[in-house]
Structure 1
C-alpha cells in the first residue's frame, strides 16, 4: 500500500475514507458465499443426473456469510454519510466512493437472498440480464450469444481447427507463465504457483496466479492466462495498490467486474490469444443464463451443455455456475454475462475515444478496478493528482499507435452492410 507522507488534509481525508471502504468489503466474498460444495455434485450424479441438485433455501442458511449483514450494511451507510459530510455532495471522488458503498450494500442484500427469487433479481441489477440491450433498438446479449454460437458452431463443424494437445502439466505451465510475467512485471512482482485448493484451472490474486495441480495446459492456454489473468486482473490490482490516495481502486465491486472481464477478453482478442473453443464457453454460458431467465431449470441447462459436446462433469460445472446462489429451478446468477457484455462496452468506449481524439482516456481503464461510468471523473482526478496513472500497462495500451489505427478502420467498417457484402462476394467465397 502506498505511503501517506506528503498528502495534504483533503487528500488524507479521501485516503481515510477509501481505506474504510477497503476494510468494510474484506469479508464480503460473493463467489465463496454462492458456490455449491462437492456433496451437491456427488448427490446429483448418484441420482443418475436425473433429478435436480439438492439445493434449497435451507442449504444456504446452513452456510453463514461470515459477517453480520445488518451491521455491515450500517457500516457502509455510515461511510457513505461521512463521504458526503467530509467531501461534499458533488465531489467526483466522493461520487465514486458513495456508489461503491451503495453497490456493496446491494451485494449484501443479494447474499441475504440466497435461495430466494430476490437473489436472481438483485443479480440482474448488479451484473445485468441476458435480455439487456446495449442501446435502444440494438441486439441484446442473448442475441449476441446466439449469433456468435452460429459462427462458432460453423467453425467447429469443419473439424480442421482442432485445439492443441494439452501437453503441459501444472508445474510446466507455472514455469512458462512465470517467465512471461517476470518479463512483463519484473522478476519478483507476480508469483505463479501450483494449488490444490481451487476449482477453476487458474485463479488470480493480488500479486499471484494459481494453477490447479491436476489441470493440463497447452502453450495457447498459457498465453491466454498471461494476458487475461496477468496483464488485466493482476495488473489492475497492482495499479490499484499503487494508488497513494484512492486505495479503493485495488478492490472491485460487481460493476468493475464488467470492465475487468471486458478488458480481459479484449486483450485476448487483440493479442490473438483467444480461440474458438474458448469463446464457445463464453457464448454457451450466456445462452444458458438466457435459458434460465426464460424458465429453464438445472436439468435443462445440464442437457444443453451435453448437447454442446461438454463432458458430464463439465456440463455439471457450467450449469452450477448458472444457478449458484439461486435454486436449481430459480433465476440465474448472471455474473458470467460480464465477459461478452464487458467486451462490447469496452470496445465501444475505446472506439469512441479514438473517434473523439481522447486517447489519453484509454490507459486509465487500467489504473485499478475501474467502472466505465467513472472514466470522466477518473480523468479529472488524474489531472488533480488524486489518482496516479497506471504503472503497469500491456504493451498494446502503452503505445496506442496500432490500437488507434485498428479502431480508425473499425469505425469505417462498422458503416458497411455485411448483408450487402455477402451478396457481392457470393461468387468468390
Structure 2
C-alpha cells in the first residue's frame, strides 16, 4: 500500500505521524489512539454527568454550594483576624502571658487558626471537588488529616483546661505546682501525640481517584480501597478515645465544677463576706463556661456525624446521599462558628483580656480618663492653692 500518513491528535496536544507503514500497523495504531480518546472523554463526561446529577437531582444544588461557600468564607476571615488578635493581646501583656492558663488559650487559638486556614479545602472536598478533586494529591491527603488533627488537639486542650480548673477549686494550694513550664510541656505532648496518631494514619490511607464514580465511597478524594479495612479498624479504636470519651468527660466535669463553685459562693454569701477570691473564682467560672459552651456548640454536631458514620459502618448500612451530605456540611459550619465565638468568649470571660485587647487596638477605656486635660490642670492648680498655708491676722499686723 502506498505511503500512509495518519495524524491523530490526542487531547488536543499530542500529534503522532505514521509514515511508510503497512495498512495493518496503521489500523492498529489508530484503533489504540481512538480507544484512549474514548476512555478519556467517557471518564470526563461521566464525571460531569455525575456532578450535574448531584446539583440538579439529589445530593446538593449550585445555590446551596455557593451559599455555604460565602458563609464559610466570611467566618474564615473573621476567625483568622480574631484569633490572631487574641494571641497578640496575650503575648503583648506580660501579666497575661505569664499565666499557664493563658498559654493554653494561645495554643487553642493556634489550633483554631490552623483549622480555619484548612477550612476552605474541607469545603472544596465536601462540595466543588466531591466528584472530581482537581487539587494535587498532597491536598487530598493533608485536608482531612489536618481536620482530624486539629479536632483532637482542641478537645484535649479543653479536657486538660477544665481538669486543672477543677483541681484549682478543690485544692487551691496545689495550683502552685502547675507552673508555666508544665503547661508548655502539656501543650507540646498534646500536639505531638495527636499529630503522630491522626496525621500519619489519614495521610497513609487517602487516595485521589480520577472520578468519584471509581471510588468505593463515591468521592474523588477518598480512602484507598485496599487500605479501607485497616483504616476502619483504626477509627473504631481511636475515635472513641480521642473524641467521644473525652467529650463525655468534659460534660460531666463541667457540671461538677459549676456545682462546686455555686456551693462555695453560697457559703461565702451566707457569711456576708465577699472577698477577692470569690470574684476570681467567679471570673474563672464564667470564662470556663464560655469556653466549654463554644466547644459543645461547635463540636457536638461534628462528633455526632462521625459517630453516625461509625455506627452505620458497623451495621453495614450505606451512609451516602443528600441527608448525610447536609449533616456533614452543617457540622462543618458549626465548627467554624465555634472558632469565631472562641475569641469573643475569651474576652467576655476575663476583664484582663478585654483590657489587653483594647490596649492592642488602641481603644481608650472611658473609666481611666473621664476628665479633660483642662480639667486636670485646673484641679492641679486648686490643689496647689489649697496647699499654701493662710497667714493669720496677727502675722498681717506684724507686717
Give the TM-score taking structure 2 as reference length: 0.25
Structure with the largest fraction of helix: 2
Higher relative contact order (CA 8 A, sep 6+): 1
Which is greater in Rg? Answer: 2
